[in-house]
Amino acid sequence: MRAEGTARITLPGDPLAVRDGLRQLFTMRALRHLTEDERGTAELVLAEALNNIVEHAYARAPGEIDLWLHLTGTGMLCRITDRGAPMPAGTLPPGLPPCIGKGADLPEGGFGWYLIRTLARDLDYRRIADRNELSFRLDVQQSAP
């Protein structure tokens, strides 16, 4: 038996709200029984996606982020909605592996989409009216308690 469950939170688009929202999310009943590794992966992908919204979609004007997660026997479906600026060119960044140079050339950013693309599956982005909708699936195999 695997547990099914849904979790939904709405949070303001700022970095501390993202931190608090993630903390709140993983204490919710639907997500309480993830293994440490699953939780780490889910928290990382969600943090990268949410921080991206804070830094880019809501760079000019603040707004709210709606996060919906649905856990099934085969994984975790995640859908994140915001009302900020659309993705440039209407599409997700390629998220290429960061180019590791030496010394002063080492990259300090550009890892976010690479991590999302590495860890998430079925990544999909849509602009619907004034909303951005990002959805993906995470391979977590939650066991029933």
Cβ(67)–Cβ(11) under 8 Å?
A: yes
Work out whether 11 is an interface residue with other proteins (CB under 8 A).
no
Member of 77, 85, 98, 137 binding other proteins (CB under 8 A): 98
Work out whether 114 is an interface residue with other proteins (CB under 8 A).
yes
Q: How far is the CB of 129 from other proteins (least distance, A)?
A: 28
**What are the backbone dihedrals phi and psi of residue 110, each rounded to the nearest 5 degrees, phi first?**
85, 15
Q: How far is the CB of 10 from other proteins (least distance, A)?
A: 17
Member of 6, 16, 124, 126 binding other proteins (CB under 8 A): 16
- Beta strand 75-82 with 121-128 is unpaired
Q: Which two tokens stand for residue 5?
A: 């469950």
Cβ(138)–Cβ(119) under 8 Å?
A: yes
Work out whether 88 is an interface residue with other proteins (CB under 8 A).
no
Q: How far is the CB of 106 from other proteins (least distance, A)?
A: 5
Cβ(65)–Cβ(82) under 8 Å?
A: yes
d(Cα 67, Cα 53) in Å, to the nearest integer? 12
Contact string (CB under 8 A) for other proteins, positions 31-70, x = contact? -----xx--xx-xx--xx--x--xx---------------
Nearer to other proteins, 92 or 119 (CB): 119
Nearest to 98 by CA among 84, 82, 115, 86: 115
Q: Which amino acid is at 104?
A: A
Chain residues binding other proteins by CB under 8 A are 15-16, 18-19, 36-37, 40-41, 43-44, 47-48, 51, 54-55, 97-98, 100, 103-104, 106-109, 111-112, 114-115, 118-119
